[in-house]
Amino acid sequence: MTPCYRCGEPKPADAFYPDTTKASGYKSICMECDRARGRAYYAEHGEQVKGRVSAYQQRQRRAA
């Protein structure tokens, strides 16, 4: 059981996303906290994210 860096709750290894850059092989933030962080970011920066995705899709269409 490894504690989550964000919430501090001890959780099994399968509650963390893999991360090959870490010695343990897993992220230090559990999946639940990581998803909550992502949702909060999208709620605050949704228009910017949509703009980046739209620009990427247009570049990919031109390249194909």
Per-chain mean pLDDT for the chain: 96
Contact 14, 24 (CB under 8 A): no
What is the domain count for the chain? Answer: 1
Evaluate if residue 64 carries a pLDDT over 90: no
Q: What CA–CA distance (Å, rounded) separates 32 from 40?
A: 12
Q: Give the length of the chain.
A: 64
The mean per-residue pLDDT over the stretch 24-44 comes to 97
Cβ neighbours of residue 14 closer than 8 Å, sequence gap 6 or more: none
Q: What CA–CA distance (Å, rounded) separates 12 from 23?
A: 16
Evaluate if residue 58 carries a pLDDT over 90: yes
Domain span at residue 31? 2-63
What CATH number should be reported for the domain holding residue 18? 3.30.60
pLDDT, position 48: 97
pTM, entire model: 0.79
